[in-house]
Amino acid sequence: MAKDKRQYPRVEISWPATIVTDDGLVSCRTENLSPFGTLIRCSESPGPLDNFRLVFKPAERQLILATAEKVWSKSLDNNGSPSHTMGVRFTFIPEHDYQLIKGTVSQHT
């Protein structure tokens, strides 16, 4: 088994999220999360992205706002059901939202 090369631990967490682009909104879900980035999956392609806004809706919590950049992306077609995954790095998160993510990750590790 290959060793995980991540500098920071990620936890499996599934939160609804929305990518905000100049062309509109794209719904997605987180698959894993760290205080510095996340893996998200969308049913539709968010199109070409560099820096963008990402809004999370954790269960029973306030919205979390972040600015992020795409690190990598992959599109798949699973029997006619498209899926788009993207690894993103947070470039800005307000301190109170950062602390909320950091606390969530700590609780699950």
Compute the residue count for the chain: 109
Q: Dump pLDDT digits (tens) for 36-88.
A: 999 999 988 887 887 899 999 987 778 999 999 999 999 887 776 778 999 99
| 38, 73 contact by CB (below 8 A) | no
Look at the pTM and tell me if it is higher than 0.85: no
Q: Dump pLDDT digits (tens) for 10-48.
A: 889 999 999 998 888 999 999 999 999 999 999 888 878
> What domains can be seen in the chain, in order of their start residue?
11-102 (2.40.10.220)
Which tokens sit at 32?
Answer: 């894993």
